[in-house]
Amino acid sequence: MTKAFETVIEKTFFVFALASAGVVILIFGFMLALGFPLIKGGLFFGLLTRDWSPYHGVFGIYPMIVGTLAIALLSVILAFPLSLGCASFISVLAPPKFAGFLRKVVQMMTGIPTVVFGFVGIFLLIPIVREVFESGGMCILTAVIMLTLLISPTMILILPRVLSRFRSPIQMRWRLWAEHGCRNCSI
């Protein structure tokens, strides 16, 4: 490529970057202008503390904040040991060809859009939870399971890099445990 062509492309990308930043600033200004009466009236912090009861005209977001934090925390608590076990198996115990296959499967799972996970949750997981627990199916358990399935592949791909620093001691202990049934070793 010529220097002039690269300069034109660089300037074009710069203009698009400025346009994107301008759109974000306009959206923020629009939200601020429409929310100004709420802020001016002192009702903004009331939104953060009130309950959600649209039939009574109360529109607080506190239950949504607590629900989001609970689902995120429970998902991480559930996903971490699952991901650690899978990452340990892939990086230490699995034969090299099988480990490569599993790594590719996990990489493919990270490429699945979140919308697809949402459809799977709506059309597959909610009916299963509804049948097993005889409830509505739309509950924290369903959300935790879906978020766990969503974040686990990323954690599985990141954890082997962390485990690689301890590869030889961990590998030695896992192999001893696998060969001798953990009679003479401590993990």
Structure confidence by residue, pLDDT tens digits, 48-75: 777 777 787 777 788 888 899 999 999 9
Q: How many CB atoms lie within 10 A of CB 40?
A: 9
Q: What is the pTM of this model?
A: 0.68
% of the chain surpassing 90 pLDDT: 42
At residue 27 the predicted structure's pLDDT band, cuts being 50, 70 and 90, is very high
pLDDT tens digits for range 106-161: 999 999 898 998 898 889 999 999 999 888 888 899 999 999 999 999 999 998 87
Give the Å distances, CA to CA, from 61 to 7, 45, 48, 71, 178: 48, 10, 5, 15, 50
pLDDT, residue 149, reads 92
Q: Is the model more confident about 144 or about 170?
A: 144
Cα–Cα distance between 62 and 66 in angstroms, integer? Answer: 6
pLDDT, residue 107, reads 93
Each domain of the chain, given as residue ranges in start order, spans 3-58, 62-180
At residue 1 the predicted structure's pLDDT band, cuts being 50, 70 and 90, is low
pLDDT, residue 176, reads 58
Exposure class string for 99-119: b at 16+ Cβ within 10 A, else e: beebbeebeebeeeeeeebee
Report the mean per-residue pLDDT for the chain.
84
